[in-house]
Amino acid sequence: MLEAEEAPFDLEADCAAMKEAMEGWGTDETTLTTMICSKTSKQMEDVNAKFKELYDRDLLEWVKSETSGYYKDTLVGCIRHPMKQLAHSVRDCMAGWGTDDEGLITCLVHLEDFKKAALIREYKAEFGRDIFADIEADTSGDYQKALCDLVKPAPQVWAESLTGAMKGMGTADALLINFIVLAKDEMQEVRKHFYQQNGELLEDWIESETTGDYMKTLLMLAGRKSEETLSIAPVYWAQRCRDALFNVDTLKELLVSMPATAIKRHTQLYEKVYGKSLKDEVEKKSNEKGTFFFFTNWWKHAMTSLLHMPVELYVKGLWDAMHGWGTDEYTLTGLVCTLPENMYDEIHGLYQKTYERKLVNHIESETSFNYKKVLKFQAMPWPESRATALHGAIWI
């Protein structure tokens, strides 16, 4: 991905050049454009502060008074801090009559969690309004939920998905397992959001909706202290896994306590040491009339899911949400809107390899209208998403 590079510049000289470009009759637009549009966001912060110090005048307001139309909008966008500008762009898409859906979607997709928090804060500071309330007032249905989920941190979306899996008549066990295993490494945040949403503990809901070893496994996951780091020698861990095939409680403890990255590393070692896949061994043991025989399929499903990497969980969850009759929009939205940026290539590659179908094409075939557009833009890798949005904006 291309990144802006900071070229050396003379701060005071550039401030003087901008002042001169706007003073007197008319505006030297060439100089103004060069001075402003060549700066990185950090350099513009320095320019804004120095300009105010030197001339006791706000650069942004002076530029506004000397320019107009889209030219003014472009310069103002370069002068503002990126997150402040994003807040203004989002507001512009919803203010007044009608909604600029394509613009709103483009602004909200592919935000990292720290940018989501900054956007919520800047939107409130700039306009005195709640961004979620404004989105909900301008949109509806699955499209509305997708936009809101794009602005929420992933643990909050996972907490809502866990609520949806257990709320109402019956429990959506496959959905419950998939999201609780996905959320494993950020469980403290998930628990916090779950309590804020429901006024009850996640563990209490699990106890009321599940039973037996299946319940015990989910409770261990829900109570996991995700900030703790465990130090177990890989060879020792592999040996413990071998022994755990004959002891249910030990296997639960091992798979729940280890973060996903450690499990990947250690299961690879297990295969090297014993010449067998730990996942295959657990599945084989689950089908025997022995230690694991009397446990439910959902418990077995939970245990084998713990051996999957997040990429595999996302791929299977996305396929299950769209494959067959009808589409599970609730699950599809929760997964697409929390896709980790560092896993995009792996998720797209594995999806196509496993199901011989491109993820974005599958989403397009199963959704419609603005809901389709928001999921498609979020599911695309960032450069492709931005290029598609720019092409659409230019060729309207």
Q: What is the pLDDT of residues 208-225, one digit of tens each?
A: 999 988 999 999 999 988
Please check the confidence at residue 293 and state whether its pLDDT lies above 50: no
Q: How far apart are CA 129 and CA 297, in angstroms?
A: 48
CA angle 172, 176, 182 (to 5 degrees): 150
On the question of pLDDT at 17 being above 70, the answer is yes
pLDDT value at residue 233: 62
- Domain 234-308, CATH among 1.10.10.10, 1.10.3210.10, 1.10.3720.10, 1.10.220.10: 1.10.220.10
Alpha helices in 152-225 (DSSP H): 154-166, 173-182, 187-198, 202-209, 212-222
| 184 contacts 226 by C-beta, under 8 angstroms | yes
Cβ-in-10-Å burial (0-12, 13-18, 19+) of 63 comes to buried
Per mean pLDDT, which of 75-84, 241-250, 254-263 is the most reliable?
75-84
Q: Is the pLDDT of residue 173 over 70?
A: yes
Cα angle value 372/180/140 (rounded, 5°): 30
Place of tokens 């470009």: 21
CA 173 to chain centre: 23
Strand ranges for 190-317 from DSSP E: none
Whether the model pTM is above 0.75: yes
Average pLDDT over residues 137-149: 98
Q: What is the pLDDT of residues 322-378, one digit of tens each?
A: 998 899 999 999 999 999 999 999 999 999 999 999 999 999 999 999 999 999 999
pLDDT above 70 (res 273):
yes
CATH code at 83-138: 1.10.220.10
Rounded to the nearest angstrom, the gap between the alpha carbon of residue 63 and the centroid of all alpha carbons in its chain is 36
User: Which of 80-84, 131-135, 255-259 bottoms out in mean pLDDT, i.e. has the lowest?
Assistant: 255-259
- Give the residue range(s) of CATH 1.10.220.10 domains in the chain: 83-138, 234-308
Kindly indicate the confidence band of residue 1, based on its pLDDT and cuts at 50, 70 and 90: very low
Which residue type occupies 90?
V
| Cβ burial, residue 225 (10 Å; 0-12/13-18/19+) | exposed
pLDDT top residue among 104 and 251? 104
Average pLDDT of span 286-291? 60
